[in-house]
Structure 1
Amino acid sequence: MLEYTSISELVQEAEKRNIRISDLVLEDQALSMEKTSLEVYEQMELSFHIMMDSVKEGMKKDQRSTSGLTGGEGFLMNEYAGKGEGLSGTFMTKAIARALAVAGCNASMGKIVAAPTAGSCGILPGCLVSLYEDRGFKEDDIIMSMFTAGAFGMVIAQKASIAGAQGGCQAECGSAAAMAAGALVELMGGTPSQCADACAMAISSQMGLVCDPVAGLVEIPCIKRNVSGLAIAFSSADMALAGISSKIPVDECIDAMREVGEALPASLKETAGGGLATTPTGQKLRDQVFGSKGV
């Protein structure tokens, strides 16, 4: 069975057998969970359907977070995308709308898939649902790519962290972007090595990103950071598919992410003790939710 201690292990085994990383991981997970491949696949299929439902929920005009600080971002972006005037093009503006929608769904206590965390839940569905709905990719291929994303996330969790409280937002949105980038490359017919390069470039592009939630809630700036992660996932995937390599191997990028996370002060690791959380406006918003004594 696979150990998920390095992405190079996944790449080498997949290339040796001339299969996709997702095929390798599905087979391994079925073996380790003592289930059939179909049973494991169906679990992942359910996760994809939840992702699609969370997009729809977050697109509602009246969607509001429990705190009242955020809401409606997905709706507004989708309306903008429908005008076809976006600087990023219709496909990307719709993808942005989906990422915002899922993150907004989470903030309003809706059902989401933590991929790998609630704070970064909009990135993977923003990418994958867009390819499914707007580019006509087959659902089976989309679901299989999620096994590659999941495997990359498992390695990152073991070698570094996927928790903002431990490694900053680079561990959440950075990991999600890296997972999504690998899945996108596989969907586009890229090689396992290209999947790894995309993952590496996505990690390096968000290295050092701090976790500074206003009022300690997964809303500001978290929801909008899902959009940044989505854009990095797409751009990293395109670079890898163009034949551009990371130069720094993906496992070394993950090690560096861990070192940077360990070097971050506690004030920038989900404590709301620094960054945007302690700006004058950030403190006013905190008081608006919790009262003048804060939390």
Structure 2
Amino acid sequence: MKLKYNSVEELVNAALSSNQKISQIVLTEQAEDMELSEETVYETMEKSFDVMRQSVENGMDADLRSPSGLSGGAAAKLKKAVDEGRNHYGHLLGNAISMALAVTEYNSCMGQIVAAPTAGSCGVIPAALISVLEEYKLPKRDIVMGLFTASAIGMVIAKCASIAGAEGGCQAEVGSASAMAAAALTEIFDGTPEMVSDSCAIALKNTMGLVCDPVAGLVEVPCIKRNAMGVANAFTASELALAGIKSVIPADEVIMAMKKVGDQMSPSLRETAEGGLAATPTGCRLCKKIFG
């Protein structure tokens, strides 16, 4: 069956009918499309994952600072608190949040990252997957395969709605990344295809209407901390789905609702830096300070 990525339901049905995980179906389909072996396609994805891991490591530099001066050093500060047992909400969550900050701060310093699904939301998926890899000592292959599931969800969202803040607000960027991460996590922990769909829906519902309002037009404030929120949201959505809690609204209907909300959103709240936090007195002052 050739996937068209028109719906999450299509992915779920394909997995159920073949008694395979979504990730395996996507890997096989991509290999056939590209006329490459499955192992070659897998190795390409593995290289992307390795870049993610390196961006986490590089972003933990305590001396890291962006050219604007708006970001840098936060990831290292939180990681230090986690390592010293000074955080309050568990090692996994603290570690994941610090990783999300690390990747996005490194991006702000023009470091190499994987834009999954975008540069503005690049911290969510690495943070979710690398933190569980380390916490539970999972096989690397399971994590890389999770990226195929995440990518399939991302392709559906991109095709049916948007993954661009300029089109749909931050719900389309961090929201989509969070849904992709939740789907991957759910499959990694042996959730059914239906659970993968529910986790996607829940994550998107939790970020519905999130605006894109970058201070000074830079992908730093509030984008970096929203990536931290995105990974926490992914954990929440996956935890709910894995417990058998379903989304009342199906994933595909949530995606369409997200598109409609994005279409109705004021242009001032879609990456133009004309509204939201960007238009606050402090936001305006910082913009003037950076650009004169």
Structure 1 length-normalised TM: 0.98
**Structure 1 residue 134: deviation in Å?**
2.1
- State the alpha-carbon separation in 2 of the partners of residues 124 and 131 from structure 1: 11
Letter in 1 for 2:262: G
Please tell me whether residue 221 in structure 1 is matched to residue 211 in structure 2: no
Matches within 5 A, 1:30-49: 30-49=31-50
**Structure 1 residue 155: deviation in Å?**
0.2
2:59 and 2:75 in contact (8 A); partners too: yes
- State the alpha-carbon separation in 1 of the partners of residues 258 and 279 from structure 2: 25
Counterpart residue number, 2:136? 135
**Structure 1 residue 228: deviation in Å?**
0.7
Letter in 2 for 1:180: A
- State the alpha-carbon separation in 2 of the partners of residues 57 and 100 from structure 1: 11
What do the CA deviations read for 1:190-221 (whole angstroms, capped 9, x no partner)? Answer: 00100000000000000000000000000000
1:185 and 1:241 in contact (8 A); partners too: yes
Range 55-64 or range 86-95, more displaced: 86-95
**Structure 1 residue 231: deviation in Å?**
0.5
Counterpart residue number, 2:170? 169
- State the alpha-carbon separation in 2 of the partners of residues 34 and 213 from structure 1: 41
- State the alpha-carbon separation in 2 of the partners of residues 280 and 75 from structure 1: 29
- State the alpha-carbon separation in 1 of the partners of residues 284 and 242 from structure 2: 44
SS at match of 1:273: coil
- State the alpha-carbon separation in 2 of the partners of residues 27 and 53 from structure 1: 27
- State the alpha-carbon separation in 1 of the partners of residues 89 and 164 from structure 2: 30
Matches within 5 A, 1:100-115: 100-115=101-116
What do the CA deviations read for 1:214-272 (whole angstroms, capped 9, x no partner)? Answer: 00000000000001110000000000000000010000000000000000000000000
1:66 and 1:109 in contact (8 A); partners too: no
**Structure 1: which 5+ residue stretches go unaligned?**
none
- State the alpha-carbon separation in 1 of the partners of residues 40 and 83 from structure 2: 38
**Structure 2: which 5+ residue stretches go unaligned?**
none
Counterpart residue number, 1:189? 190
- State the alpha-carbon separation in 2 of the partners of residues 201 and 64 from structure 1: 34
**Structure 1 residue 34: deviation in Å?**
1.6
**Structure 1 residue 133: deviation in Å?**
1.7
Matches within 5 A, 1:20-169: 20-169=21-170
- State the alpha-carbon separation in 1 of the partners of residues 35 and 68 from structure 2: 42
- State the alpha-carbon separation in 2 of the partners of residues 50 and 265 from structure 1: 36
2:165 and 2:171 in contact (8 A); partners too: yes
Letter in 2 for 1:218: V
**Structure 1 residue 84: deviation in Å?**
1.4
Range 31-40 or range 51-60, more displaced: 31-40
- State the alpha-carbon separation in 2 of the partners of residues 124 and 169 from structure 1: 15
- State the alpha-carbon separation in 1 of the partners of residues 8 and 91 from structure 2: 33
Counterpart residue number, 1:281? 282
- State the alpha-carbon separation in 2 of the partners of residues 76 and 42 from structure 1: 34
**Structure 1 residue 85: deviation in Å?**
2.7
**Structure 1 residue 288: deviation in Å?**
1.2
What do the CA deviations read for 1:19-47 (whole angstroms, capped 9, x no partner)? Answer: 10000000001111121111110110000
**Structure 1 residue 87: deviation in Å?**
2.0
SS at match of 2:67: coil
Query: What is the total number of aligned residue pairs between the two structures?
Result: 291
SS at match of 1:11: helix
- State the alpha-carbon separation in 2 of the partners of residues 124 and 231 from structure 1: 11
- State the alpha-carbon separation in 1 of the partners of residues 66 and 134 from structure 2: 26
Structure 2 length-normalised TM: 0.99
Counterpart residue number, 2:238? 237
SS at match of 2:235: helix
The sequence identity of aligned pairs, in percent, is 54
- State the alpha-carbon separation in 2 of the partners of residues 39 and 73 from structure 1: 37
- State the alpha-carbon separation in 1 of the partners of residues 112 and 191 from structure 2: 32
Counterpart residue number, 1:255? 256
Letter in 2 for 1:78: K
What do the CA deviations read for 1:78-108 (whole angstroms, capped 9, x no partner)? Answer: 0111121322111110111000000001000
